[in-house]
Structure 1
Amino acid sequence: MRVFVAGGTGVLGRRLVPQLVARGHQVTATATNVAKLALLEKMGADGIVMNGLDARSVGEAVATAQPDVIVHQMTAISGKPDFKNFDRWFATTNRLRIEGTDHLLAAAEATGVAHVVAQSYASWNGIRQGGWVKTEEDPLDPTSTGQGAAAIRHLEKAVIHAGGAVLRYGALYGPGATDDQVELVRKRQYPVVGSGGGYSSWVHLDDAASATVLAAEQKATGVFNIVDDEPAPAREWLPYLAACAGAKPPMRVPVWLARILAGETAVTMMTQGRGFSNAKAKRELGWTLRYPSWRKGFKEELA
């Protein structure tokens, strides 16, 4: 199968492309500049430079590759987490989830690509009503991440309308994915807010990649939560992350102070976040996890 990976050099793309190649697929993957093409070649893919925010660039890249399936992994998340200015931190990623998605879907239609798989997000942003763990039947919270929530809604609606698959990844960890967060933990700049009772779901990069391969191969449709088996409150996973990183336990700060210092998004995540269930992905995709819990994954990654 010919697979087009938009965003092949990101932290997830770098784990996904080798898995696709290992399963015998012909992969064309995109990079944002020529300097990154050597990395794609090393992974066994044909590399192509593409600007995901430029319709012509996207159309030409897809037309050149002539894929059977498009996998949308384009984001621009890097640097120190900035929950206080979340919309600014995620500005380019939000555009990629809106404009980039539209460009890829238009290119798919123009070239006859019948299937699209796209990255979405489901870590702590479930609807803040009822229980602490949500399924695909539960809506995402409409306000949890400001403009980011609107961008996710746009992506999911567009991809589902096109008959594709939306993969709601939990918080990603693994090589290169959490370096900035771990650095904050080591500096004791990543505190537990309030009770720390808000839930999050995590998933290792390799497990997220394997689920993506299955969704592409099976021409899956609909929404899937790609998370591990253990959604957990911040008061559990954050001290454990600190211990695995060889850091002192995180400080605790009251909600009122965190709201001033870190903003409403951080407070919501830490105190009201809802995690997610992976039962559907396991059942319908036949997905198995190498790291069923962040406990094992954090320990091995930070050993």
Structure 2
Amino acid sequence: MAVRVFVAGGTGALGRRLVPQLVARGHQVTATTTSAAKRALLEKLGAEAVVMDGLDAISVGEAVAQARPDAIVHEMTAISGKPDMRHPDRFFSTTNRLRIEGTDHLLAAAEATGVPHVVVQSFAQSFGPGAGLLTDEDPMDPGTATMARRLSAGVMHIQDVVPEAGGTVLRYGGFYGPGASDDVVEFVRKRKFPLVGEGTGWNSWVHLDDAASATVLAVEKQARGVFNIVDDEPAQVREWLPYLAACAGAKRPMRVPKWLAKLLAGEFAVTLMTEGRGFSNAKAKRELGWQLRYPSWRQGFKEELA
């Protein structure tokens, strides 16, 4: 059944893949951007374009009220430009605000206008101790490192407030694909992305198109609760990073000890490379009927990033 969908953040890397999939399945889409210059892009993708400031409660409330959607999808981030691993708190500060304040504004607008379903983007990253894959019922743990805890504030807020409001949390894996992984590939090709320590940190990946298709299913099935939107093969950095380099035609990444990496790139870079848990996608496949085009990053990296 076709519904009216309000996509907050329609011009981001995922929004640009999500909007066309929703339109192709017959849904009426209103999508937002912070820039009037990007309205034409959203219209080209098939959406009605709206300029909205996700950090302004009035702007959000008016946009949602005018669209009268059946579902809201929160895909707002402010991740652009080359990552600053020395100062990640600065790089992710606006995104954290969008995950906290922006989420609260959208939930309030949904309640005020009677929107029955809200889907919110989160991130599958957890640094707590333990072994095995994290399920959708397992809470994410920011770990003990100061910077990791600071950067996790947004996803921790989403974890707390969205399920309580009856919404849906999609914990996406690391995105790759057009517009999502270009900077990483460039760093790898220039040998500026070394393997830190033993590279024992785990990552779960997902191609943008697979993330978008899971989001469409969450909307259509009015799914509730938390879902891990990741591929079938979580991997340690020491496994996926050399493979990515080979796919990109780059030399094998250099290896640096943790103490040196901490001096050069900061605490958070070391945490990313040496800690972290993998995530299970069993619930999304079972309850959403999700089928991945790229079940493994191995296939996806080879086809998309070479």
What is the TM-score normalised by the length of structure 2? 0.96
User: Could you say what secondary structure the match of 1:282 adopts?
Assistant: helix
**Structure 2: which 5+ residue stretches go unaligned?**
none
Pick one of 106, 110, 113 that aligns with 1:111.
113
Alpha-carbon separation, structure 2, partners of 1:186 and 1:142: 30
1:48 aligns with 2:50: yes
After superposition, residues 93-242 of structure 1 pair within 5 angstroms as: 93-122=95-124, 125-143=125-143, 145-242=148-245
Q: 1:6 to 1:65 in 2, by over 3 A?
A: same
Q: Deviations over 1:243-293 (max 9, x none)?
A: 111111110000100111112221112112211110111111110100000
Pick one of 69, 72, 89 that aligns with 1:70.
72
CA contact (8 A) 1:127 1:138 kept: no
Higher mean C-alpha displacement, 152-161 vs 133-142: 133-142
One-letter identity of the residue aligned with 1:271: T
CA contact (8 A) 2:127 2:277 kept: yes
Alpha-carbon separation, structure 1, partners of 2:201 and 2:142: 17
Q: Deviations over 1:54-97 (max 9, x none)?
A: 11110110011000000000000111122232211100000000
Alpha-carbon separation, structure 1, partners of 2:230 and 2:57: 32
**Structure 1: which 5+ residue stretches go unaligned?**
none
* Counterpart in the other structure of 1:23: 25
Give the percent of matched residue pairs that are identical in Structure 1 and Structure 2: 73
Alpha-carbon separation, structure 2, partners of 1:141 and 1:72: 22
User: Could you say what secondary structure the match of 1:108 adopts?
Assistant: helix
Alpha-carbon separation, structure 1, partners of 2:11 and 2:302: 25
Q: Report deviation, 1:127.
A: 4.3
1:269 aligns with 2:276: no
Q: Deviations over 1:97-118 (max 9, x none)?
A: 0110111111111111011000
One-letter identity of the residue aligned with 1:220: A
CA contact (8 A) 1:5 1:30 kept: yes
* Counterpart in the other structure of 1:5: 7
* Counterpart in the other structure of 1:38: 40
User: Could you say what secondary structure the match of 1:134 adopts?
Assistant: coil
One-letter identity of the residue aligned with 2:101: E
Q: Report deviation, 1:231.
A: 0.3
Alpha-carbon separation, structure 2, partners of 1:83 and 1:279: 32
CA contact (8 A) 2:79 2:92 kept: yes
Alpha-carbon separation, structure 1, partners of 2:222 and 2:151: 27
- Please identify runs of 4+ aligned residues in structure 1 that moved more than 2 A: 125-128, 142-148
* Counterpart in the other structure of 1:291: 294
Alpha-carbon separation, structure 2, partners of 1:150 and 1:302: 31
One-letter identity of the residue aligned with 1:22: A
CA contact (8 A) 1:87 1:146 kept: no
CA contact (8 A) 2:177 2:305 kept: no
One-letter identity of the residue aligned with 1:256: W
1:14 aligns with 2:16: yes
User: Could you say what secondary structure the match of 1:172 adopts?
Assistant: strand
CA contact (8 A) 1:174 1:205 kept: yes
Q: 1:127 to 1:186 in 2, by over 3 A?
A: closer
Pick one of 227, 231, 247 that aligns with 1:244.
247
Pick one of 90, 93, 118 that aligns with 1:91.
93
CA contact (8 A) 1:37 1:48 kept: yes
* Counterpart in the other structure of 1:278: 281
User: Could you say what secondary structure the match of 1:288 adopts?
Assistant: coil
One-letter identity of the residue aligned with 2:74: H
Q: Report deviation, 1:142.
A: 2.5
After superposition, residues 251-266 of structure 1 pair within 5 angstroms as: 251-266=254-269
One-letter identity of the residue aligned with 1:12: L
Q: Report deviation, 1:162.
A: 1.1
Question: Between Structure 1 and Structure 2, how many residues are aligned?
Answer: 301
**RMSD (CA atoms):** 1.1
